[in-house]
Amino acid sequence: MYSLNVRDHFMIAHSFTGEVFGPAQRLHGATYVVDATFRREELDDDGLVVDIGLAGATLKAVLGDLDFRNLDEEAEFTGQNTTTEFLARTVFDRLVVAIGEGRLGEGARGLERLSVTLHESHVAWASFEGSV
C-alpha cells in the first residue's frame, strides 16, 4: 500500500464535561499538529497517491474552519466532549467529503484509506482511520 502524508496545525479552546477530565473541565486551549495520511494500493496515472499540493491546501482549509474557535460555542458540537479522538474523526469526515467533492483532484477518487492523527503534545496523540 502506498501512502502520502501532509501536516498542518490548528488551535482551539474547549472544555469537557465529566469527572474523568479533572481540570480540563475548565475552559482551556489546545494546539494540535495534524497528520493526514492518504493510502492506495496502486498509484494513479501520474504516479501519485494524491496531489501533495491539493492535499496540503485541503487539509489547511478543513482545519481553518476549526482554527481559533472556542468549540464550546459551536452549535455542531453542542453536548459533545471535543476530545482529541473526537476531533480526529471530525477532520477525517471533512476530508472524506472534500475527496468526494473533487477538491483533491480526480486522481484522489482512487484513494482507499485515510488516517488522521492529532498530536496533542510530543507524548500524546490520537488517530482515526477508515475507508474513503
The model's pLDDT over 96-127, given as tens digits with 9 standing for 90+, comes to 999 999 999 998 999 999 999 999 999 999 99
Inter-axis angle of helices 52-64 and 84-100, to 10 degrees? 130
Q: Which among 114, 111, 115 is positioned nearest to 126, based on CA atoms?
A: 115
pTM for the full model? Answer: 0.96
Rounded CA-CA distance 18/81 in Å is 9
Phi-psi region for residue 105, left (φ > 0), alpha (ψ -120 to 50) or beta?
left
- Supply the pLDDT for residue 30: 97
pLDDT digits (tens, 9 = 90+) for 7-43: 999 999 999 999 999 999 999 999 999 999 999 999 9
Q: Which among 105, 113, 1 is positioned nearest to 55, based on CA atoms?
A: 105
List of domains in the chain: 2-17+28-131 (3.30.479.10)
Rounded CA-CA distance 20/113 in Å is 32
